[in-house]
Chain A
Amino acid sequence: MKPADLTWGLPPAEQLRSYRIWDSYFTPAHGHPGKDGVSATLADMTRAERAIELGQFEKLCHFAHVGIGTTGDAAVEELLRKTPDLVRKPFEAWPDKLIGMIQLNSTEVKASLEAVDRWLGDGPMVGVYFPGGGPGSLACSDPSLEPLVEAVIARKGLIMQHTWNKTGGKQGPGESTPAELAVVAARYPGQVFICAHAGGEWEQGLRAVRDTPNVWIETSGFDATAGFIEMAVREIGEDRILFGSHLPSRSLGTELTKVTAAEISEEAKRKILGGNFRRLLGG
């Protein structure tokens, strides 16, 4: 054997490119963009470059803080409010690669509504992200979120909801479960709700959303536990699954191989790794 014979667990680069990978969950500096509003995000983008290159990713979706209280840092929130160009800088750095959604503050509905109008109305953002922790999070079942959901629907935006289904129960009041998201989604059957992380504990997460066709799942955020994608394809179908990388806080190895090493068809891999996201974005 020669080291050159090793594949390192990846399909050949040409095959990866043929998948046209669009990452729906890219998380550079996910909790805080840096004291200057952007440097930590840019640094994490650089940190992820090798993985993105190895994975042959075409596009990645980043969840931006836009100054509505999602970081818990009053100074940086004010900076982002006064200097919206800082929010745009990552997109200017990677103009052909980055897609954007804004992180919403569910406890500040008025500010969040204004942010939806501004960033989805004028661009470049294509949707919103409801976090599962931090100062801006509330359980998705909270009725106060309804105006936000309806505003995003009116703007034809995407909705990504962080979910985890933790053994022993929620660790904070802002956490949401797939079961809660399924209840919310049933009230808006024309809107797709993306169940980020499939609940983490995916066996119960998939069972909770499988009968709600407008809930799709996102694949990142937990260990590379074998059998996940196989069950997801079996239970909810290959058309409702979006690949996410969670880079750079998680690894290409952990996240990409959930799909590339799964015992599913090549067509299903193409859909999960990019086709479904493009379809959701109207492409």
Chain B
Amino acid sequence: MKRRDLLKGTLAAGSIAALEARGENDFPGILDTNVNLFHWPFRRLPLDETEKLVAKLRSLGITKAFAGSFEGVFHRDLSAANARLAGECARFPELVPVASINPSKSGWHRDLNAAKTAIRLHPAYHGYGLDHPGFADLLSAAAERGLLVQLAVALEDPRTQPDLMRVAEVDLSPLPAVMVKAPKAKVQLLNWKGRGTVTNTLRDLPNLSVDTALADGTDAVATLVKTFGPERVLFGTHAPFLIPEAALVRVHEANLAEGDLLAVIRKSADHWLA
């Protein structure tokens, strides 16, 4: 059996034939909206060297990745952390640096002014809620600069965190009111499980998108697409903390229509960044 036949055997029924029939041979590859560089402080990860991570992404057909950094979570001098991230990303054409910003502490405007394309927030780890006035200010400022705001809802299951660093998931309930006041802000939730009573109100925010990294359950990605529409569900792996193949299989497992599948793995992200 030829490799191509093997590959086809694993694909959603009809998807490949339909894509090829439409002449989608210039597919630019998958865009991963959710990776981090450098070291997770609590254990070494198999892909925590950038060369290994990028090689893995390439092997999976991921040609572009939005890279934040674990330093941007745990360091206080975010300007230096963001500079190191930008320097590392410059070595790899696939990587787009995503600066970490902490709007609850003074000095964040300069970090924001240095950012390009997207920024990443870690409210849980930086110790502020979405009702903090700095968050609203940042949304407006990011909207003026045309930056996508990535908001990490969690990084690790609270049940498995180190005893001395327990970090709850971000309370999203204030988000709708804040986004209404910043109507041009574009926000993407990272590592949101896609569950809970807040889902209905989040669904009604047209400038809000979500990633797929922690949407678990055999039909969880399909449910996200059904709830938010394929244009608001963006592929993300949360690598190297999570195994990148996991998110990719999960999208495949969702058995999406071919157009929705292409939207999730690439086109929607391109649209949000345009």
Residues of A within 8 A of B (CB): 1-10, 12-14, 47-48, 50-51, 54, 164, 166-168, 200-201, 203, 222-227, 230, 247-254, 256-258, 260-261, 263
Give the docked Cα–Cα distance between A260 and B248 (Å). Answer: 13
Given the known inter-chain contacts A9-B248, A227-B43, please indicate yes or no for A257 contacting B218, CB distance below 8 A. no
Give the docked Cα–Cα distance between A63 and B105 (Å). Answer: 51
Give the docked Cα–Cα distance between A261 and B246 (Å). Answer: 9
Asked if A9 and B252 sit within 8 Å, CB to CB, the answer is yes
Asked if B243 and A251 sit within 8 Å, CB to CB, the answer is no
Asked if B19 and A4 sit within 8 Å, CB to CB, the answer is yes
Residue among B166, B243, B244 having the largest count of chain A Cβ atoms under 10 Å: B243
A8 contact from B10, B19, B166, B216, Cβ within 8 A: B10
CB-CB < 8 A to A14: which residues of B? 1, 6
Asked if A226 and B218 sit within 8 Å, CB to CB, the answer is no
CB-CB < 8 A to B255: which residues of A? 50
Q: Find the B residue at minimum CB distance from A4.
A: B16
Binary contact track B230-270/A, C-beta < 8 Å → 1, others 0: 00000000011111111111111101000000100000000
Residues of B within 8 A of A (CB): 1, 3-4, 6-11, 15-16, 19-20, 24-25, 27-30, 43-47, 60-61, 63, 157-163, 166, 214, 216-220, 239-253, 255, 262
Asked if A10 and B252 sit within 8 Å, CB to CB, the answer is yes
3 smallest A-B Cβ distances: which pairs? Answer: A253-B249, A253-B250, A9-B245
Q: Return 15 A-B CB contacts under 8 Å, by A number.
A: A3-B15, A5-B7, A6-B30, A6-B60, A8-B249, A10-B252, A50-B255, A200-B160, A223-B214, A227-B45, A230-B46, A249-B217, A251-B220, A252-B253, A257-B249
Q: A224-B246, A249-B217, A263-B46 given. 10 additional CB < 8 A pairs?
A: A8-B10, A9-B252, A13-B10, A167-B160, A167-B166, A168-B166, A226-B239, A227-B43, A252-B253, A257-B243
- Give B118 Cβ to nearest chain A Cβ, in Å: 23
Give the docked Cα–Cα distance between A13 and B1 (Å). Answer: 11
- Give A128 Cβ to nearest chain B Cβ, in Å: 25
B243 contact from A6, A13, A168, A261, Cβ within 8 A: A261
Residue among B15, B27, B60, B216 having the largest count of chain A Cβ atoms under 10 Å: B216
Give the docked Cα–Cα distance between A244 and B220 (Å). Answer: 19
Give the docked Cα–Cα distance between A248 and B255 (Å). Answer: 14
A223 contact from B216, B239, B248, Cβ within 8 A: B216
A4 contact from B8, B29, B46, B161, Cβ within 8 A: B8
